[in-house]
Amino acid sequence: MNGDLDQVRAARAALALLTATGDRDVHTLVAACGPVDALSRMIDGTAPGRALVQLRERVNGDQLRAHAARVGADARRVGARVVIPEDDEWPTRLPDLATVDVDAAAGAAVCLWVRGHGPLSAVLDRAVAVVGAHAASPYGTTVGTDLGYSLATAGATIATRGAYGIDTAVLRGALAVSDARTVVITACGLDRPHPAGNTALLDQVTTNGSLVSAYPPGVRPSRDRMTATGQLLATLTRGIVVVEAAPHSRTLTTLEHALSLGRLAMVVPGPVTSTLSAGVHEALRRHPQLRVVRDAADVLHDLTAAQQPGQ
């Protein structure tokens, strides 16, 4: 059985070279015939679909075969493990592609690279995402730091993208609590800390929490991967808090995805004169189901009140 599971793990990791989170063609193939057969079809060129042919032109069969063979070595090199839907620690909020309609599962992943301690499902069980503007204001930084610290003190797991601005403030606040559990979902391989200026902070995360990526070592961040990673963050967590977001911010895309999944979605209002809060205020006007929160007590109250079965 372990040999079979290792084969499945290697196949999923190799297929992750071809897909951004939510890519329907690769996911459809995996759902239809399983990861091992899907990889075999990609290698021998018999996989159907125009998009799959185009993908295979970028990564040939020999490259896929070589990647599958070195999955274990690549994971060990970056101090990580590859977690797949067939594992007991696969997050319960993340759909298994073999059993869901992939067209409706934009947050699904072929596999996850994880660096850190504890089963991933347990680490994420009480996770709440706290995100916001990269160019945060002093107001937003203060609010983010306090949210991170207070939520961690209350025992919640704090999940972010690890970006500059609000995400960094939240992480710093949470990591000031000695036993804090934090999770960072990153838009690149775990061997490429992003942003590079947060390398030391990201290393701290792995003491009690985890760094997680849907992308293999060596993959660089991109706009599409950042958007997909925001969807993954929304999928993996109980709810999301947005502290600051300008109009058209990628953070608002993450908020919209959380709403589409039925997750608890919360926002912190700001000064009406601040561009960095304008996106939050506009979201409040468009989505009456959004909850306004002022502090960690409000967040914890709303998480408890939501009582989302299966979430």
Q: pLDDT tens-digit profile of 38-97?
A: 888 888 878 877 656 766 677 777 887 887 888 888 888 999 999 999 999 999 888 765
Q: Over 80: is that where the pLDDT of 310 sits?
A: no
pLDDT of 275 reads 96
Q: Is the pLDDT of residue 1 over 60?
A: no
Q: Give the mean pLDDT of 17-32.
A: 72
pLDDT for 96? 61
Q: Rounded to the nearest 5 degrees, what angle is found at the Cα of 54, between the Cα atoms of 33 and 107? A: 55
Percentage with pLDDT > 70 across the chain? 89
How far apart CA 171 and CA 124 sit, in angstroms, is 16
At residue 149, what are phi and psi to the nearest 5 degrees?
Answer: -65, -50
Return mean pLDDT, the chain: 88
Q: What is the mean pLDDT of the segment spanning 273-292? A: 97
Residue 290 in this model has a pLDDT that exceeds 70:
yes
Helices (H) and strands (E) in the chain, counts: 14, 9
Torsion 10-11-17-21 (CA) sign = negative
Share of the chain residues as helix, strand and coil, in percent rounded to the nearest 5:
50, 10, 40
Alpha carbon 33 to its chain centroid, in Å, reads 26
Considering 9-18, 152-161, 189-198, the range whose residues carry the highest mean pLDDT is: 152-161
> Tens digit of pLDDT for each residue in 150-187?
999 999 999 999 999 999 999 999 999 999 999 999 99
Burial class (CB in 10 A: 0-12, 13-18, 19+), 310: exposed
Position with higher pLDDT, 201 vs 48: 201
Does the pLDDT at position 266 exceed 80? yes
3-state secondary structure of 127: strand
